[in-house]
Amino acid sequence: MSNLTSSSLVVADVTVRQDSDGRFNLNDLHTAAGGLKKHQPSNWLRSEQAVDLIAELDTPQIRGVSRIRGRSGGTFVVKELVYAYAMWISPKFHLEVIRSYDRLATRGVAVHHTAAENVLNDPLKYMGAILDQAREVQAISQK
């Protein structure tokens, strides 16, 4: 998986944090999906589908799932698990995640369709946010 630390993945106006290995925060995705209790990451992680997929993806080089405790922690997963989690929630959310990731991967920046007008009306505000995110990601990767 390519490490997209130069930019951030944004799904439904929620910035999805990444850990130092480029895994994505499932808790942020849960928020982006609407935050329903039935869609909590812990419910999905216990499912047979998730357990089997995690077993397939885990390698000695990188684990598919990493849990970080604390205020800025959460459950971080590789891209393939992001897609699987999104598919478990709904087809609509699955497509939103795929499209957001594709925008990020192909253009380096992902603008959600609901934010396009705001970005065009006040681009400097959003450039500042992108620069702040890049600084945060760089600081994490230099640890």
- 94 - beta bridge partners? none
Tokens found for residue 75:
């459950």
Residue 61 or 94, more confident:
94
Please report which residue ranges of the chain form alpha helices under DSSP H: 26-32, 41-45, 48-57, 79-89, 91-107, 116-121, 123-141
Tokens found for residue 86:
């999104």
Average pLDDT score, the chain: 82
CA dist., res. 111 & res. 95, Å (int): 15
End-to-end CA distance of the chain: 21
CA dist., res. 97 & res. 90, Å (int): 11
Span 10-55, pLDDT tens digits? 888 888 998 888 899 999 999 999 999 999 999 999 999 999 999 9
Closest by CA to 103, choosing from 5, 21, 23, 10, is: 10
Give the pLDDT mean for 92-105.
Answer: 86
- 18 - beta bridge partners? 24
Phi/psi region, residue 22 (left: phi>0; alpha: psi -120 to 50; beta: rest), is left
pLDDT band of residue 4 (cuts 50, 70, 90) is very low
- Residue 70 phi, psi dihedral angles, 5° rounding: 110, 180
This model's pTM is above 0.75? no
